[in-house]
Structure 1
Amino acid sequence: MKGVVIAVVALAMFQLMVQPGRAISCGQVDGYLAPCVPYLIGGSGSPAPTCCEWVKNIKGMASTTAEKQAACNCVKQAANSYSNLKDDAAQSLTTECSVQMDIPVSRTINCDEYVFPTIMLHA
Structure 2
Amino acid sequence: MKKMKLTVVGVICYLLLLVAPASEAVIQCSDVVKYLRPCVSYLVKGTGKPPAGCCSGASALASAATTTADKRAACDCIKTVAKNINLNAQAAQALPGNCGITLPFTVSPTVDCSKIG
- Using the size of structure 1 for normalisation, the TM-score is 0.69
Indicate whether 1:59 and 2:59 are aligned. Answer: no
Query: Could you say which residue in structure 2 is the equivalent of 1:109?
Result: 111
Question: In structure 2, which of residues 82, 86, 89 is the aligned counterpart of residue 87 of structure 1?
Answer: 89
> Cα deviations across residues 67-113 of structure 1 (Å, max 9, x unaligned)?
2111111111121121x21000000001111111236422122212x
Q: Is the 8 A contact 1:3 1:91 kept in 2?
A: no
* Cα 1:99/1:3, change in 2 over 3 Å: farther
Report the 3-state secondary structure (helix = DSSP H, G, I; strand = E; otherwise coil) of the residue aligned with 1:36: helix
1:8 Cα shift?
A: 5.5
Query: Could you say which residue in structure 1 is the equivalent of 2:20?
Result: none
Q: Is the 8 A contact 2:46 2:90 kept in 1?
A: yes
> Number of residue pairs matched?
106
> RMSD between aligned alpha carbons?
2.8
Moved over 4 A (4+): none
Amino acid of the residue matched to residue 100 of structure 2? S
Quick check: which has more Rg, 1 or 2?
Answer: 1
Q: Is the 8 A contact 1:94 1:100 kept in 2?
A: yes
Question: In structure 1, which of residues 42, 47, 57 is the aligned counterpart of residue 45 of structure 2?
Answer: 42
Query: Could you say which residue in structure 1 is the equivalent of 2:75?
Result: 72
Q: Is the 8 A contact 1:59 1:100 kept in 2?
A: no
1:3 Cα shift?
A: 6.3
Query: Could you say which residue in structure 1 is the equivalent of 2:33?
Result: 30
Question: In structure 1, which of residues 7, 18, 36 is the aligned counterpart of residue 12 of structure 2?
Answer: 7
1:60 Cα shift?
A: 4.2
Amino acid of the residue matched to residue 98 of structure 2? E
Amino acid of the residue matched to residue 109 of structure 2? R
